[in-house]
Amino acid sequence: MKSTTIAAIALAIATYAGRATHADPLYHVTYLGLSIYPGGAINNLGQVVGTSNSQAVLYNSGQVTYLGTLGGAISGAEALNNVGQIVGQSTTPAAGPGEAFLYSGGTMTGLGGQPGYPGSQATGINDAGTIVGSVSTSNGGASEAFVESGGVMTIIGTGGASGINASGQVVGTTSSDQAFLYSGGAVTYLGVPPGGSQSYATAINNSGEIAGYSYEKPPGSGYVPQAFIYSDGVIQNIGGIEIGNVLLAIPTSINNLGQIVGDTNGSLGSPNRAPFLYTGGSMYNLDNLLDSSGAGLSLELAYGINDSGTILAEGMTTANGYQAVLLTPVPEPSTWVMLMIGAAALLACGLRKRRSPVTHA
């Protein structure tokens, strides 16, 4: 094969690769075999937690484990870290509000509450085992955000905490509907994007990027939830998915690549629902990104995204009703094309060596 031919092939492949990198994301669907509504989470090991049949559940490599309760009838898992610790809320034998729990090493332990706030709910945990959530009055009329570490629960403000990153930065929302960041013992209020009203922080990654939403008022419409990113002191509206001629988005998770997933409505079977993916500055309707494995599936909610880009979602199936699913990124054609480029280069080197003149002593 002539070197000019090899060069031409490499050029053609590289040109195709450049075009392929701009293709929309594509995902393969794996069914978990159960519904985990009203919510769930996924870690970097691909382990999933949620609620099924009114009990906290762990899905791990095809195996489903029910975690039990704190003595009551109902429990639900909210979050997990990368070492397999799980947090959520469970009822207890006593009448009254539920109690936050930590599930670790096969044992569920209640975290209790605070004076005047007997109810509690855990919503996040980092790999160091620091837990965040909220405590509430017996009737749920008021709540306080907490951080729990080493068995000590510390109140950090009104409202509730929703997420924590590796360095212990915490995000949440006050009782007066203000998104906040708790870092180094200090609370920073994030404000709202220009033209927005109220703000709610839902997730934070290890770079300190915060995902949340505020209420915006498009022309000719009432106030609607739209997504924002907060980074380095700047809050930016990133819009949403077009539903009924307006953009809607409520983020649920952000990974360490800055990819965000969420919903337009947080309830199954409700109108105005479509899960979204925000990546590379673009917003996508996840229903439009499925390969043939998604035939017969209509996605409604997106619960979480891990650092490999795998998304935990839920939707309606024609055969089995509501089902939780994993959406795994399908490698872009450019990945394979670059391998072909490398093979062409190796071939070219091999040909050169074989054609090199032999020098006789």
| Count: domains in the chain | 2
User: Could you tell me if 202 and 322 lie in one domain?
Assistant: yes
User: Could you tell me if 243 and 346 lie in one domain?
Assistant: no
For residues 284-301, one letter each, b for 16 or more C-beta atoms within 10 angstroms of the residue's C-beta and e for the rest, the string is: bbbbebbeebbeebebbb
Q: Is residue 9 part of a domain?
A: yes
Q: Is residue 291 part of a domain?
A: yes
User: Could you tell me if 256 and 345 lie in one domain?
Assistant: no
Q: Which domain, by its residues, includes 345?
A: 1-21+341-352
- pLDDT on residue 343: 54
DSSP character at residue 69: -
The pLDDT of residue 8 is above 90: no
User: Could you tell me if 240 and 294 lie in one domain?
Assistant: yes
- The answer to whether 80 and 49 have CB atoms below 8 angstroms apart is yes
User: Could you tell me if 303 and 345 lie in one domain?
Assistant: no
User: Could you tell me if 274 and 345 lie in one domain?
Assistant: no
With H, G, I as helix, E, B as strand and everything else as coil, classify residue 291: coil
Instruction: State the alpha helices, DSSP H only, in the chain.
Output: 3-20, 333-355
- pLDDT on residue 265: 86
Q: Is the dihedral of CA 321, 326, 332, 336 positive or negative?
A: negative
User: Hey, how many other C-beta atoms are within 10 angstroms of the C-beta on 176?
Assistant: 9
Instruction: Please give the angle made by the CA atoms of 264, 268 and 274, to the nearest 5 degrees.
Output: 30
User: Could you tell me if 321 and 200 lie in one domain?
Assistant: yes
- pLDDT on residue 96: 81
User: Could you tell me if 296 and 348 lie in one domain?
Assistant: no
Q: Is residue 253 part of a domain?
A: yes
User: Could you tell me if 228 and 295 lie in one domain?
Assistant: yes
Q: Is residue 261 part of a domain?
A: yes
Q: Which has the minimum average pLDDT: 1-15, 23-37, 62-76, 189-203?
A: 1-15
Q: Which pLDDT tens digit goes with each residue over 249-287?
A: 999 999 999 999 999 988 888 877 899 999 999 999 999
What is the distance between the alpha carbons of residues 241 and 196, in angstroms, rounded to a whole number? 17
Q: Please name the residues in contact with 60: beta carbons below 8 A apart, sequence gap of 6 or more.
A: 46, 47, 48
Q: Is residue 213 part of a domain?
A: yes
Looking only at the bridges linking them, the beta strands covering 276-279 and 282-285 are antiparallel
Q: Which pLDDT tens digit goes with each residue over 222-239?
A: 899 999 999 999 999 999
Q: Is residue 203 part of a domain?
A: yes
User: Could you tell me if 293 and 279 lie in one domain?
Assistant: yes
Quickly list DSSP for 113-147: -BTTB-EEEEEEE-TT--EEEEEE-TTSS-EEEEE
Q: Which of 169, 99, 89, 68 is nearest to 128 (CA)?
A: 169
Q: Which of 303, 297, 295 is nearest to 277 (CA)?
A: 303
pTM comes to 0.86
Instruction: Provide mean pLDDT across the span 97-114.
Output: 97
Alpha-carbon distances of 313 from 35, 42, 249, 291, 300, rounded to whole Å: 10, 10, 15, 15, 8
The two three-digit tokens of residue 138, written as one number: 């017996």
User: Could you tell me if 212 and 327 lie in one domain?
Assistant: yes
User: Could you tell me if 285 and 213 lie in one domain?
Assistant: yes
Percent with pLDDT over 70 in the chain: 86
User: Hey, how many other C-beta atoms are within 10 angstroms of the C-beta on 272?
Assistant: 14
- pLDDT on residue 332: 63
Instruction: Provide mean pLDDT across the span 25-40.
Output: 97
Q: Is residue 133 part of a domain?
A: no
Q: Which of 44, 64, 26 is nearest to 323 (CA)?
A: 64
Q: Is residue 357 part of a domain?
A: no
